Chains A and B, each alone.
Chain A
Amino acid sequence: MDSGRRQRGGLEQEVIAVLAADGSAMTPGQVRAALGAELAYTTVMTVLARLCDKGVVTRRRAGRAFAYQAVVDEDEITARQMRRLLDARDDRAAVLTRFVGTLSADDERLLADLLRHTEQAGDRDDVR
């Protein structure tokens, strides 16, 4: 375990995110590197095997190891329904909890300042 307490299914989500972001098939070693966290190789293997059982991820032989790939749902209906959720406005959007809402011009300026500030502070810490 690298750091912090993981939430239920947290690592599974991260692995799916890595595979989905990449799009191509990845070996457990590549997945582990892409997770960017100090995880044991066997931990990553276990999660990949579990995801495979669930049918969220497929695997095929690549040399001596297996390569894993996120299953892309190519069903037209699912795609259309998901797009409807992304486009949801007003009432439908109100029942979804979004990561961030809309920003005003002031918010945008303030956030850019805050970001610059934290990055500078981070650099100073790194030098120390």
Chain B
Amino acid sequence: MSVAVAVTLAVSLLFAATAPTLGRRLPPAPATRVLVVGSLTVTASEIFVLAVVAFTWVGQLPDIAALGPWSTVALRRADPIPESAAVGAALLLPVLAAQLSWWIVRRCRALLAVQRSCRHLPHTDSLVVVDTDRLDVFTTPDRRGRIVVTTGLLRALAPAERRVVLAHETSHRDHRHPWWLLAAELAAAVNPLFTRTARTVAHTVERWADEDAATAVTDRRLAARTLARTALLMHQRSTRAPEGALGVLTADVPTRVQALLAPPPRRQPAVVGLLVTLALTCIFGAAAVQRSGERLFEHASTPTYTVKG
């Protein structure tokens, strides 16, 4: 059991350490999928393993043991997990649960606020134009996914550039990018080791939309130029101070421009395979931990229990 626990936790650390670097080498769409699904499964496996480890100690508490058929003495003798590790896991779990709940409350509040703001908009899937001199464009995460753009930005762009910006936001909307981002942040909210992965996903999601926009206008250099010019225009006219929010997760614009100036990224099945293998190893590890945990408690419940060498 100790081996399965150690392997699962070691592989999950390996995934968290390598995912950001490997993810950046992949084309953005598969990178987003494999990083998000991977970090969620790895986090779930970790939590599961921690819970089993914690329960080998919790199960020894008299009040808890009274609820089950196992003997505390037998359990303590057969338990291969050091008590300190099990107590540590039992103390860590409520902390992680609190972190997760806090994150969920904050994000739900934000999503509801955005939902409220969009409630009065007409029920069409067309563009929402806000009449202001400010330069801004974004996609909302609500059910319809609205693309909101200011007249200031529309006027500042040439027709071809407008097509790039709109195609970029349409990609965000059609591929539900806000939700991929939230899923990546969810893993990071539970496990801070995935913060760097979530930041990478914020980047790959933007790259995904950039690549879609470049495909839509069939001109990578036009897409690159539009991105650079729009970013500079917005920056020069912006009144907002550098902020947190996406600030923490700000996708870095020069890298995106350089990627568009380079040829389209090539598929990398080996890298995807490696990340998938790591994530699957975590799932199998968690399953092994679960099986041996079950066996441990069955063993401690058998009346004809004898101490083995």
- Count the A residues whose beta carbon is within 8 Å of the partner chain — how many? 66
CB distance B166 to A100 under 8 Å?
A: no
Binary flags per residue of B257-270, CB closer than 8 Å to A gives 1, else 0: 11001000000000
Contacts of B138 in A (CB 8 A): 85, 96-99
Number of residues of chain B lying within 8 A (CB) of chain A: 93
Contact of B178 among A70, A72, A96, A122 (CB under 8 A): A96
Task: Please give me the residue from chain A that is nearest to B221 by CB atom.
Answer: A118
- In the complex, whether B253 has a CB less than 8 A from a CB of chain A is yes
Which residues on the A side are within 8 Å of B129 (C-beta)?
16-17, 20, 70
Residue of B nearest to A51 (CB): B126
> Given known contacts A17-B129, A86-B150, is B244 in contact with A92 (CB within 8 Å)?
no
Complex: A101 Cα to B205 Cα, angstroms? 13
Q: How far is the CB of B130 from chain A (nearest CB, A)?
A: 5
**Could you tell me if B162 and A14 are in contact, using CB atoms closer than 8 angstroms?**
yes
Q: Is the CB of B159 within 8 A of A20?
A: no
- CB of B154 within 8 A of CB of A21, answer yes
Mark contacts of A31-67 with chain B using CB atoms, 8 A cut-off: 1 yes-contact digit, 0 otherwise: 0001111000000000000010011100000000000
The closest CB in chain B to the CB of A18 belongs to B159
Interface contact B170-A9, CB-CB below 8 Å: yes
- For B227, what are the chain A residues with a Cβ–Cβ distance below 8 Å? 100
Contact B151 A14, beta carbon cutoff 8 Å:
no
Contacts of B124 in A (CB 8 A): 54-56
CB-CB under 8 A for A95 and B141, given A103-B235, A111-B253: yes
Check A82–B159 contact: CB distance below 8 A.
Answer: no
Q: How far is the CB of B118 from chain A (nearest CB, A)?
A: 7
Distance A116 CA – B301 CA, assembled complex (angstroms):
75
Does residue B249 face the partner (Cβ distance < 8 Å to A)?
yes
**Contact yes or no, A9 B221, CB < 8 A:** no
Of the listed residues A12, A73, A99, the one surrounded by the most CB atoms of chain B closer than 10 A to its CB is A99
Provided the pairs A86-B134, A102-B240 are in contact, do residues A96 and B140 lie with their beta carbons within 8 angstroms? yes
B25 at the interface (CB under 8 A from A): no
Cα separation A26 to B240 with both chains bound (whole Å): 35
Contact mask for chain A residues 99-114; partner B; CB cutoff 8 A; 1 contact, 0 none = 1111110011011101
Q: Hey, which bits of chain A sit against chain B, CB under 8 A?
A: 3-10, 12-14, 16-18, 20-21, 23, 34-37, 51, 54-56, 70, 72-73, 75, 77-79, 81-86, 88-104, 107-108, 110-112, 114-115, 118-119, 121-122
14 residue pairs A–B, Cβ–Cβ below 8 Å: A3-B217, A4-B218, A6-B216, A10-B167, A20-B129, A56-B124, A70-B129, A81-B119, A89-B240, A89-B244, A94-B107, A99-B169, A111-B257, A114-B257
